[in-house]
């Protein structure tokens, strides 16, 4: 569709949503839609809830965050359930500043940006509609017009509690413009916008010597003093500070703990009493969610300073650690690459996964359990099945180090190294080895990595390289075995005949001579050993396969090569072990013969069609696996 047509439609939709009427008409809207009068905290909570909630592995996943924040489900569930939900219910939690604390690149700023952008969109929906006194620079809640002595009666009739007092400016306007007739005061629907400074404010600290408190609370408009005759006339004051403009929505304090103390004093009464002091006026009511973010080091020095005790008691700290799951880290890189100008570069399969493995290892802490190394821990955290471990073990591992994920390599570093790798390599294709090389080189240039950490990280690169070697061999193995699919099926049928004879304690008949033979134990073990089945476990494994065959037969289905995942893996590995010499010769021969060339081309085609490689990365993979097998 033509972009100009879309712009026109957007403009028409905005016009359609606008509403203006008297306070009396606004009360009629309240009767139909009482949620319109919700608090700022309630609006944010409902926005998150309305986007949808799903339960995955017993944990709530909020769809509002799921497209931008990955691997932070636990932190986000805690944030919503321990802060937004009780705050929406008007519990005391809403009188606290929400402080997100975590390492750099962990997603704190992204989280705040999501809430701000989400609120802008939500205010355009029916459930998120916001109404304010028309012409008020603070977009004041129209219900502040109801006098305090009538608020109990209002609650009985409407079921809505009113908090906050009418601002000095609107008190004067009520008398001078409307002659005290509350019912005639004009009300309009407003739409939150950070750019237009409606309902969303952002405060960033700068030089305390030059930064003015007016940035927060507004200032006197000296050009109007001659007209109004007094500095205490609210019409001579610009209510344009960030606290004024963020009323009804969100106030973001960037790097709050870097602020000068005088800027934080205003937050004491704003959080506890819901008001702040500005100019020569009575306290000004404000209903806003104050959200700040900082790193752990600054937070520790902040709470160590006794002068900050009053503010500290009004803060709720929500740790936002790094993601600790490989698959989610991979999604973070995919998102960052998608948003860049290198999205057209071919990234070979497993490249981002290998980078993610390295990153996660730097964030994990050694377990006290002797049977758990970091690689096992990484797999368990990512939801992989590891023999001898279950979900209870995973929960116990997480409890060992409550601060796990608060240190390590951040995603930005990895993306910087991937970018560097893409720019340097002239071929429009990169693979896992290129990225590991780039990560290794980058450690020397990373200013904040200690010598001790660097040694650990180099060790992690070696560990991850070994993981990649196995993945690469398996990938080529699968591609080669596919070309030998008939051999794989024959080997499997042979194995199943022997298993059936073994379990039923019968003999096999030689198809050529017709003589009876005992089941071929050597053949069965050579296959079972490929997937680590011990001598003691072989009987149970064989019986399980026979039960599976019977179950298929009962349903009228045929048990085939893909019916049992572990057996298929064992057959593939056995076949690949037998084919290893052919693979070695085929991949390492400088002048392959016609038969070898045909085989290479088949495997390359398979890697491209089935596994997502391009011709460059497929040939690089084959050469690498050939070199591994020749060691």
Note the pLDDT tens digit of each residue in 222-268.
878 777 777 778 888 888 889 999 999 999 988 788 777 777 777 88
Is there a single domain that holds both residue 606 and residue 547? yes
pLDDT at 579: 66
Given a cut of 90, whether residue 150 has pLDDT beyond it is yes
Q: Is residue 426 part of a domain?
A: yes
pLDDT at 483: 64
Is there a single domain that holds both residue 156 and residue 201? yes
For the record, the structure tokens of 325 come out as 């799951």
- Domain with residue 120: its CATH number is 3.40.50.300
Q: Which of 466, 483, 509 is the endpoint of a domain?
A: 466
Given a cut of 70, whether residue 54 has pLDDT beyond it is yes
Would you place residue 200 in the very low, low, confident or very high pLDDT band (cuts 50, 70, 90)? very high
pLDDT at 581: 67
Is there a single domain that holds both residue 301 and residue 416? no
Would you place residue 80 in the very low, low, confident or very high pLDDT band (cuts 50, 70, 90)? very high
C-beta separation of 193 from 200 below 8 A: yes
For the record, the structure tokens of 277 come out as 């002091």
For the record, the structure tokens of 83 come out as 């802060």
Would you place residue 556 in the very low, low, confident or very high pLDDT band (cuts 50, 70, 90)? confident
Mean pLDDT of all residues belonging to the chain: 87
pLDDT at 587: 62
In percent, the amount of the chain with pLDDT more than 70 equals 95
Q: Is residue 242 part of a domain?
A: yes
Is there a single domain that holds both residue 486 and residue 580? yes
**E-assigned strands of 186-249?**
186-190, 200-203, 219-220, 237-238
pLDDT at 143: 95
* Distance (Å, whole) CA 600 – CA 587: 7
The 10 Å CB-count burial string (b at 16+, else e) for 198-210 is bbbbbbebeeeee
| Residue found by looking up tokens 């409307």 in the block | 178
State how many domains the chain has.
3
The 10 Å CB-count burial string (b at 16+, else e) for 434-448 is bbbbbbbebbeeeee
Q: Where are the alpha helices (DSSP H) in 529-564?
A: 538-554
Q: Is residue 3 part of a domain?
A: no
* Distance (Å, whole) CA 451 – CA 402: 25
Q: Is residue 422 part of a domain?
A: yes
Is there a single domain that holds both residue 421 and residue 491? no
Is there a single domain that holds both residue 342 and residue 488? no
Q: Is residue 1 part of a domain?
A: no
Is there a single domain that holds both residue 258 and residue 179? yes
Is there a single domain that holds both residue 496 and residue 448? no
Q: Is residue 10 part of a domain?
A: no
* Distance (Å, whole) CA 106 – CA 39: 29
pTM of the model as a whole: 0.82
Give me the phi and psi of 450, to 5 degrees please.
-75, 165
pLDDT at 41: 94
Is there a single domain that holds both residue 486 and residue 594? yes
Would you place residue 283 in the very low, low, confident or very high pLDDT band (cuts 50, 70, 90)? confident
Q: Which of 301, 317, 333 is the endpoint of a domain?
A: 317
Give me the phi and psi of 139, to 5 degrees please.
50, 50
Shortest CA distance to 364 belongs to which of 408, 410, 411?
Answer: 408
Q: Which of 449, 466, 483 is the endpoint of a domain?
A: 466
Mean pLDDT, residues 506-534: 85
- DSSP, collapsed to helix, strand or coil, labels residue 61 as strand
Is there a single domain that holds both residue 480 and residue 611? yes
Q: Is residue 393 part of a domain?
A: yes
Would you place residue 489 in the very low, low, confident or very high pLDDT band (cuts 50, 70, 90)? confident
Looking at per-residue pLDDT, the higher value among 555 and 255 belongs to 555
Q: Is residue 2 part of a domain?
A: no
Would you place residue 588 in the very low, low, confident or very high pLDDT band (cuts 50, 70, 90)? low
Is there a single domain that holds both residue 440 and residue 538? no
C-beta separation of 199 from 117 below 8 A: no
Is there a single domain that holds both residue 123 and residue 110? yes
* Distance (Å, whole) CA 626 – CA 631: 9
Give me the phi and psi of 316, to 5 degrees please.
-110, 120
The whole domain housing 493 covers 471-628
């Amino acid at each position: 569709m033509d972009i100009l047509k879309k712009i026109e439609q957007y403009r028409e939709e905005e016009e359609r949503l606008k509403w203006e009427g008297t306070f009396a008409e606004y009360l009629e809207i309240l009767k139909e839609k009482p949620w319109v009068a919700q608090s700022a905290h309630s609006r944010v909570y409902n926005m998150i809830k309305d986007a949808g909630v799903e339960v995955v592995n017993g944990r709530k996943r909020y769809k509002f965050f799921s497209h931008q924040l990955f691997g932070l489900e636990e932190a986000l569930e805690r944030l919503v359930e321990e802060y937004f939900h009780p705050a929406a219910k008007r519990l005391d939690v809403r009188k606290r500043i929400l402080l997100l604390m975590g390492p750099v690149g962990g997603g704190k700023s992204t989280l705040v940006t999501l809430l701000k952008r989400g609120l802008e969109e939500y205010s355009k929906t029916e459930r998120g509609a916001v109404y304010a006194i028309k012409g008020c620079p603070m977009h004041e809640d129209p219900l502040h017009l109801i006098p305090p002595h009538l608020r109990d009666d209002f609650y009985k009739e409407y079921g809505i509690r009113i908090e906050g007092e009418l601002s000095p400016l609107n008190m004067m306007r009520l008398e001078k413009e409307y002659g005290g007739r509350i019912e005639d005061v004009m009300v309009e629907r407003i739409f939150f916008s950070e750019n237009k400074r409606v309902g969303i404010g952002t405060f960033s600290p700068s030089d305390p010597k030059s930064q003015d408190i007016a940035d927060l609370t507004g200032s006197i408009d000296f050009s109007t003093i001659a007209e109004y005759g007094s500095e205490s006339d609210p019409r001579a004051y610009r209510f344009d500070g960030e606290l004024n403009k963020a009323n009804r929505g969100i106030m973001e304090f960037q790097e709050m703990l870097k602020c000068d103390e005088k800027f934080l004093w205003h937050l004491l009464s704003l959080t506890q009493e819901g008001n702040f002091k500005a100019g020569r006026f009575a306290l000004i009511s404000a209903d806003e969610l104050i959200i700040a973010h900082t790193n752990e080091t600054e937070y520790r020095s902040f709470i160590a300073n006794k002068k900050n005790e009053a503010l500290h008691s009004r803060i709720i700290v929500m740790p936002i650690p790094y993601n600790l799951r490989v698959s989610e880290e991979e999604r973070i890189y995919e998102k960052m690459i998608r948003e860049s100008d290198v999205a057209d570069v071919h990234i070979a399969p497993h490249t981002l996964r290998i980078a993610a493995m390295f990153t996660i290892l730097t964030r994990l802490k050694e377990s006290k359990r002797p049977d758990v190394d970091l690689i096992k821990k990484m797999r368990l955290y990512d939801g992989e099945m590891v023999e001898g471990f279950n979900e209870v073990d995973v929960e116990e591992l997480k409890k060992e180090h409550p601060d796990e994920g608060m240190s390590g390599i951040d995603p930005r570093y990895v993306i910087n190294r991937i970018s560097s790798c893409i720019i340097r390599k002239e071929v429009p294709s990169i693979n896992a080895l290129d990225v590991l090389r780039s990560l290794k080189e980058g450690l020397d240039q990373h200013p904040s990595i200690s010598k001790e950490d660097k040694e650990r990280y180099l060790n992690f690169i070696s560990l991850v390289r070994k993981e990649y070697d196995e993945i690469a061999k398996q990938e080529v193995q699968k591609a080669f075995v596919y070309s030998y699919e008939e051999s794989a099926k024959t080997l499997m049928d042979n194995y199943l005949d022997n298993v059936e004879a073994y379990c039923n304690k019968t003999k096999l008949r030689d198809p050529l001579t017709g003589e009876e033979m005992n089941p071929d134990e050597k053949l069965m073990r050579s296959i079972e050993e490929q997937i680590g089945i011990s001598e003691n476990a072989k009987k149970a494994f064989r019986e399980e396969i026979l039960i599976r065959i019977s179950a298929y037969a009962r349903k009228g289905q045929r048990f085939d090569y893909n019916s049992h995942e572990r057996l298929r893996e064992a057959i593939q590995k056995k076949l690949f072990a037998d084919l290893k010499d052919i693979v070695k010769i085929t991949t390492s021969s400088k002048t392959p013969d016609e038969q070898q060339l045909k085989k290479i081309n088949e495997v390359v085609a398979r890697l491209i069609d089935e596994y997502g490689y391009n011709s460059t990365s497929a040939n690089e993979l084959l050469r690498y696996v050939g070199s591994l097998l020749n060691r």
